[in-house]
Every structure is written in C-alpha cells, then in structure tokens.
Amino acid sequence: MVEAPAPDPERLSTLESSWNSRLLGVLEEAGWLEGASETLMGWLQPLLAAPGAARVKDLLHGRWLGHALHPVLTDAPIGFWMGAAVLDLAGQEFAAGLLSGAGSASAVATAVTGLADWTVTDGRERRLGLLHGLVNVAGLCLQVASLGARLQGRRGAAKSLSYAGLGVSSAAAYLGGELVFGRGLMVNHDAWTAGPDEWTPVLPSPQLPERVTRRVDLRGHSVLVYREAGRVYAMEDACAHAGGPLSEGEVEDGVVTCPWHGSRFRLKDGAVMRGPATFPQLRLQARERQGQIEVRGRKG
C-alpha cells in the first residue's frame, strides 16, 4: 500500500491533500499576486475614502438585498454566454451575437460588485480573489473580441473566441465557487449558531460596567455583552461578514463597529447599519438576575 506524502511544512497555506487543494495552494501562493493586490488597493483607496463611498459600497455589497449581490449577478453572463455557444452550434449566429453582447454587458456590472467584495478580503482570500477577477477579465476580453469578429463577418473566429471565453470564464467561476463554498466569503458566519434554550449565566454583574464591551464564552462560541443606561445587550461576537471579534470594536449610539472591515450592527436588534456585512447579526436575549448577567438564544 502506497502511503500518502507528508504535508510540506513550508507550505502552510494549505495542508489538505486533495488535488484541487494542492492546485489552489500553488495558485494563491504566487508571489506576484500579493504585490498586485497591494498595488490595486492603492489605486482604489481614493475611491474607497471618497465622500458617499460608504453608501455606494453598501449598494454593491447587497446590504439592501439581505445577502451578497455579486453571486446573484454571476449567473447572468455565464448564462448568456452559454446560450450564445449553443446558438452558434445550432447555426443561429445573429441570436448568438445578441446573447454574447448581453453577457458582456452584464459581466461589467458583475465585475464591479465583485471588486467591491474583494476590497474587504485579506490574505489568501484576497490573492485568490484577485486571480478570480483577472481570469474573469480575460474571459470577458475574449467575448468582446468575439463580438468584434462577428461585426466584421469573421464567423469562424467569432465562434472560436466565444468558446474560448466561455471556457476561461468557467475556470474563473470555479475559483469563485472556492471562495464562497470553500472559504466562506460573503456568507453568514453565524448561520449555524443556536441556543442556549434556557437562561444561562455568563458574567457576574459587577464585571460589566456601563458602556464597556465584554466577550464571554458560551458553549463553544463567543458572545458580546454590553450595558448602557441600565439595559444589557447581547449578540454573537463573531461578525456575520467574516467572523471578526465585535467585542473589540467601538460602540457609538447603540451601534457596534467590527474592527476588521467596518461592518456596523445595531445592538438592540442586530440590524446591519453599514456593510460589507449583508446579514444581520444574531442577537441574544439578555437580563440581569441575582447578581449575574444571563443570556438566552434561539432554539436549535
């Protein structure tokens, strides 16, 4: 029986042995991606700091929608381009051109929302996200070149470029799936948290002064507790956006700000006041009883 090779201690970003994990490890560790990420962020910084940028970012992240907007839009260009490929095979070249153009137009909006989400990533996810975006741009360029060939009457070249673009975009979609399903990017990080069903003491009352955040451990996860004007608030400590520790953030006017990416949540109901978070923060019931701060969560 052949033994599996031992993990390479020099490759700390991924120790999984599956072929796709090894491949992604090689891709995301490419040194040029880190430098390119820093350069791109430097270019974007004036836009991100401009007046009104926070509202635009909330729109692009999908806070108004209740979950990330980018994954919703990604179906459009892939669907249009796949339809164009099928129509080309059927000899319906004019209709294929229309779908190809629609796919390219929708890809621009999709790219803008993806770029907004990318600006609130870090480390491995930022590098892999940049690669995902660059591969998508390459696919879009091939589709635009295909459109140009169609307008010039070069049917064979148009079809070849369209098929190549679809293949490249499919590879980019695989990387996007890894970011969402494999890395949990822009998903609700509190989705599987529940309970406790009963009131549970978490902290002696004297240890929770006014207007001071406290992190308490509760059955395998952390909870933020806060007291203001005699009322005690409690919510999951891990930010729904990326798991940042809300207990390390500042509270102002009843709103806590995540120290990682700046998402803001209202303490009284967990509502998202500012992204990049798109899901509300899970709130727990809280009370003070017999010298103890007690919390109770939703039932599992």
The strand pair at 231-236 and 251-252 is best described as: unpaired
* pLDDT above 90 (res 37): yes
* pLDDT above 80 (res 21): no
**70, 170: one domain:** yes
**96, 173: one domain:** yes
pLDDT at 17: 62
How many domains does one find in the chain? 2
CB 17 within 8 A of CB 6: no
Per-residue model confidence as pLDDT tens digits over 213-225? 999 988 778 899 9
**Structural domain of residue 290, as residue ranges?**
200-296
Per-residue model confidence as pLDDT tens digits over 236-268? 999 989 889 999 999 999 999 999 999 999 999
Under the banding of pLDDT at 50, 70 and 90, the label for residue 299 is low
d(CA 64, CA 47): 21
Q: Is 127 helix (H, G, I), strand (E, B) or coil?
A: helix
| Cβ neighbours for 29, distance < 8 A, ≥ 6 positions apart | 11, 13, 127
pLDDT at 196: 81
**104, 166: one domain:** yes
Of the residues 138, 155, 182, which one is the last residue of a structural domain?
182
Per-residue model confidence as pLDDT tens digits over 60-85? 999 988 889 999 999 999 999 999 99
**36, 93: one domain:** yes
- Enter the pTM of the model: 0.80
Q: Calculate the CA dihedral of residues 218, 224, 225, 229 and round it to 10 degrees.
A: -160
Classify residue 7: in a domain, yes or no: no
d(CA 212, CA 228): 8
pLDDT at 27: 82
Per-residue model confidence as pLDDT tens digits over 261-298? 999 999 999 999 998 999 899 898 999 998 999 898 86
